A and B are shown apart, each in its own frame.
Chain A
Amino acid sequence: MNFFFEVLIGGLLSGVMYALVALGFVMIYKASGVFNFAQGAMVYLAALSVVGCMEKGAPLWLAIILAFAIMTAFGIATEKFVLRKLVNQPPIALFMATIGLAFFIEGVAPMVFGSEPRALELGIVDEPIPWVLDNWNMVISKFDLVAAGVAAVLVATLALFFQYTRIGRALRAVADDHQAALSIGIPLQNIWAIVWGVAGFVALVAGMMWGARNGVQFALTFTALKALPVLILGGFTSVPGAIVGGLIIGASEKLAEIYIPPVMQDWFGGNFGGIEGWFPYVLALLFLLVRPEGLFGEKHIDRV
């Protein structure tokens, strides 16, 4: 039973890491109704900017500020040179544009900052908490706990931002209908630039946590793969949904990885491990059949 809880807690904490990436998708989707294919690449760009600036001699705090400036500039440039031309176009056109953006970042970022994998030290050691290990014989990582705290602060900030600020309300209006938002005087271009800037900030936080965990390298773009089932589960428009979805996906994939393969092996023989790559997607698919809008997503109702 001890082992079960160890896996469960480890999974929940991993889920928080997935949620950090998923939050970036939610930001863009909430404001523009577009699934941002480039979010994984933005996580990579943000982390690469931090280590790139540090290599040029900047201390960590300055590197983070500079990286934020880079991500904000990137957000504004995306709005000006890509999205502005596509206002009122079907969502698929915007989606295709984000695909192009992803490839652009993946190609250019390593040219600017170098492509070799690098370490990012945030001063948080990824090792078990001795007290928990000694008293409960359970492995709970210090790093994962810090990540959970960071995610909690981020979610609270974003939820408050969307709910209680003028810009937050404007963002939601834009997400609902571009043309209607324009007609009541909401400056669409500014809103998009802001939301891409905020998504860049979320990518920066996610990139730093994932980069510190696994190293800063091209594979950070793959973190997006972990966020997709989280979004399906939690809903594309809900900030709390991203967190809850992340927790469910993290816990269930870890438990599945531990407990399903031995059963399959007993039934069919062979080796059935390594299922956590696809298990979350199957879970999300099943969920999709029951509740297509996700746990916290907005129910879409069309008038006839």
Chain B
Amino acid sequence: MIKKFKPAIAAAAVSMAMLSQFAMAAEEQFFPLIDYRVGPYGSNGQAFYGGFIDYLNYVNLKEKGVNGVQMTYEECETEYNNAKGVECYERLKSKAAKSAGPLHTMSTGISYALIDKSAQDKLPLAMMGYGRTDAVDGSVFPYAFPLVTTYQMQASAIVKFLKDKNGGSLAGKKIVYLYHDSAYGKEAIVALNAEASLNKFEMVQIPVAHPGNEQGAQWLKIRQEKPDFVIFWGWGVMNQTALKAAQKVAFPREKMIGSWWTGSEEDVVPAGDAAKGYMAATWNVAGKQVPVIADIEKVVYGAGKGNLQDKAKIGTILYNRGVSAAVLSVEAIRKGQEKYGKGKALTGEQTRWALENLNINDARLKVLGATDLLPEIKTSCDNHEGSGKVKIQQWDGAKWVPVSGWIEGNKGLIHPLFQASAKQYAKEKGITPRDCSKEK
């Protein structure tokens, strides 16, 4: 009898084995990439998302995924347009229903447009150094993660850097805050006002209308004010225009310090020599000296699976930022698998938990080959930022050179501002905040 059915049993066994293998291979962690590679800011997106995708492929090639789970992705082009961002989200969300890594939009506008939708759909939204900053308070914003740093903590860290540079005091100094006249530019004002009263320096606010390709009047005003420093919150063409205009009124670039949106190669190269000496904050360093960056080039590009056509972008600030974002995202998947089962893809809800329980210290960064690429990070329900640290870097005419260690903003001063704002938001929206003491 058995003999009679032997071939059938064997065939069934082979089929089962193949099916199970297929099932194993089908275990995939999906990353919905709402990105931009064309349009006004396309070159920023190319480097960032190129780095992000390269790291996902690196994990697949180097360690065959996270515990066997392959990292997969699908891109959707937004052209940095809010309406298209929402359209992309709607297109990708059904695919993300089964398994989802964090969403990265690289756009404050798109993040704002998605913040409520993503919470409803239980898909975690990462906003690394941008987006809605009071989402640091996870009790009100469970699905939104302004990871690593926020505009306010960054402004506070810049003030700390300037203070240290001035022998520990800014009393009596004058600082001009030159900013893009938009929600983005205005975000840091509250933090700088708080720092000004605390450190007794005078702050002069000078807005620049979008797009900022003409700043003659603003820089003549700066010349008249004779500030000790200019803190600069620019975006796009405003950055190069400011550097050129500073040169035009002979304001020393060494006294200008910008936010991380003003501190990539794309921001300074078009300004030529006018950018030399200019400083900017960053939450990741540039260069291929970081082991993981060099290894990505070797492993991923060596295998012909690199995402960028222009390999010159590897090691740039924005490329390394994309890798940093992917490192945190993949580490979240790893963390989630520890709780929900190794070798299993995570749902958006599970990834949310993992993002809220990240603990990546220097030892772990070393294992990842990412020492000093980004700061240590430890998140929790009441702290979705998890770090608040930036480095200050200086453009030497050819490359960005770090001129400080990791500097943490004044958390005691800034985080209560987030909590107050989040509380107000909860009140307006009728949200009952979670009790973070009960979250693990």
On chain B, the residues within 8 Å of A117 by CB distance are 43, 237, 240, 266, 269-270
Stretch of B91-99, B133-141, B151-159, B208-216 lying at the A interface: B208-216
Contact B39 A133 (CB under 8 A): no
- Any chain A CB within 8 A of the CB of B181? yes
Which residue on B lies nearest to A271, using beta carbons?
Answer: B205
Contact B248 A128 (CB under 8 A): yes
Contact B214 A10 (CB under 8 A): no
Which residue on B lies nearest to A272, using beta carbons?
Answer: B207
B127-185: which have CB < 8 Å to A? 181
Complex CA–CA separation, A139 to B215 (angstroms)? 14
Query: Given that A215-B237, A222-B237 are known contacts, is A10 also in contact with B216, CB under 8 Å in the complex?
Result: yes
Complex CA–CA separation, A254 to B217 (angstroms)? 5
Contact B240 A257 (CB under 8 A): no
Which residue on B lies nearest to A256, using beta carbons?
Answer: B217
On chain B, the residues within 8 Å of A216 by CB distance are 270
Contact A219 B213 (CB under 8 A): yes
Q: Secondary structure of the A side of the interface?
A: helix
A221-258: which have CB < 8 Å to B? 222-223, 226, 253-254, 257-258
On chain B, the residues within 8 Å of A215 by CB distance are 237, 240, 269-271
Stretch of A72-80, A119-127, A284-292 lying at the B interface: A119-127
Contact A126 B274 (CB under 8 A): yes
Complex CA–CA separation, A128 to B266 (angstroms)? 25
Complex CA–CA separation, A261 to B396 (angstroms)? 36
Stretch of B19-27, B219-227, B336-344, B370-378 lying at the A interface: B219-227
Chain A nearest CB: distance from B39 CB in Å? 7
- Any chain A CB within 8 A of the CB of B17? no
Query: Given that A139-B220, A257-B218 are known contacts, is A128 also in contact with B270, CB under 8 Å in the complex?
Result: no
Convert B25-54 into 0s and 1s, putting 1 for each residue whose CB lies closer than 8 angstroms to a CB of A: 000000000000011111100100000000
Chain B residues bordering chain A, tally (CB within 8 A)? 40
Contact A258 B221 (CB under 8 A): yes
Q: Secondary structure of the B side of the interface?
A: helix
On chain B, the residues within 8 Å of A10 by CB distance are 216-217, 220
Quick one: which of A128, A219, A275 contacts B211, CB cutoff 8 A? A219
- Any chain A CB within 8 A of the CB of B241? yes
Complex CA–CA separation, A6 to B220 (angstroms)? 8
Contact A141 B248 (CB under 8 A): yes
Contact B224 A3 (CB under 8 A): yes
On chain B, the residues within 8 Å of A14 by CB distance are 214, 216
- Any chain A CB within 8 A of the CB of B291? no
Quick one: which of A13, A118, A141, A214 contacts B237, CB cutoff 8 A? A214
- Any chain B CB within 8 A of the CB of A277? yes
- Any chain B CB within 8 A of the CB of A107? yes
Quick one: which of A13, A17, A115, A118 contacts B46, CB cutoff 8 A? A115
A198-217: which have CB < 8 Å to B? 210, 213-217
Contact A11 B210 (CB under 8 A): no
Query: Given that A10-B220, A14-B214, A14-B216 are known contacts, is A139 also in contact with B249, CB under 8 Å in the complex?
Result: yes
Chain A residues bordering chain B, tally (CB within 8 A)? 46
Contact A275 B270 (CB under 8 A): no
Contact A274 B274 (CB under 8 A): no
Quick one: which of A107, A126, A275 contacts B247, CB cutoff 8 A? A126
Complex CA–CA separation, A254 to B216 (angstroms)? 7
Chain B nearest CB: distance from A20 CB in Å? 13
Complex CA–CA separation, A217 to B269 (angstroms)? 11
- Any chain A CB within 8 A of the CB of B236? yes
Contact A222 B213 (CB under 8 A): yes
Quick one: which of A139, A143, A273, A278 contacts B223, CB cutoff 8 A? A139
Complex CA–CA separation, A126 to B273 (angstroms)? 10
On chain B, the residues within 8 Å of A214 by CB distance are 213, 237, 240-241, 244, 270
Complex CA–CA separation, A218 to B235 (angstroms)? 13
On chain A, the residues within 8 Å of B416 by CB distance are none
Complex CA–CA separation, A300 to B173 (angstroms)? 59
Contact B250 A133 (CB under 8 A): yes
A252-271: which have CB < 8 Å to B? 253-254, 257-258, 271
On chain A, the residues within 8 Å of B41 by CB distance are 218
Contact A276 B249 (CB under 8 A): no
Convert B235-265 into 0s and 1s, putting 1 for each residue whose CB lies closer than 8 angstroms to a CB of A: 0110011001001111000000000000000
Quick one: which of B210, B236, B250, B266 contacts A116, CB cutoff 8 A? B266
Contact B248 A139 (CB under 8 A): yes
On chain B, the residues within 8 Å of A126 by CB distance are 244, 247-248, 274
Which of B39, B205, B217, B269 is most buried by chain A, counting CB atoms within 10 A of its CB?
A: B217
- Any chain B CB within 8 A of the CB of A147? no
Which residue on B lies nearest to A10, using beta carbons?
Answer: B216
Quick one: which of B42, B43, B270 contacts A119, CB cutoff 8 A? B270
- Any chain A CB within 8 A of the CB of B405? no
Quick one: which of A119, A127, A271, A274 contacts B209, CB cutoff 8 A? A274
On chain B, the residues within 8 Å of A219 by CB distance are 40, 211, 213, 236-237
- Any chain B CB within 8 A of the CB of A174? no
- Any chain B CB within 8 A of the CB of A38? no
- Any chain B CB within 8 A of the CB of A110? yes
Which residue on B lies nearest to A116, using beta carbons?
Answer: B43
- Any chain A CB within 8 A of the CB of B413? no
Quick one: which of B43, B213, B224, B266 contacts A223, CB cutoff 8 A? B213
- Any chain B CB within 8 A of the CB of A94? no
Chain B nearest CB: distance from A211 CB in Å? 9
8 A-B pairs with C-beta separation under 8 A: A6-B220, A17-B214, A214-B244, A219-B236, A257-B221, A275-B209, A276-B214, A278-B209
User: Which residues of B come within 8 Å of A, CB atoms?
Assistant: 38-43, 46, 181, 205-211, 213-214, 216-218, 220-221, 223-224, 236-237, 240-241, 244, 247-250, 266, 269-272, 274, 310
Which 3 A-B pairs rank lowest in CB-CB distance, beginning with the nearest?
Answer: A215-B270, A277-B209, A219-B237
User: Which residues of A come within 8 Å of B, CB atoms?
Assistant: 3, 6-7, 10-11, 13-14, 17, 107, 110, 114-119, 121, 126-128, 133, 139, 141, 143, 210, 213-219, 222-223, 226, 253-254, 257-258, 271, 273-278
In the complex, given contacts A214-B244, A271-B207, A275-B209, what are 4 additional A-B residue pairs having Cβ atoms less than 8 angstroms apart? A11-B216, A217-B237, A219-B213, A219-B237
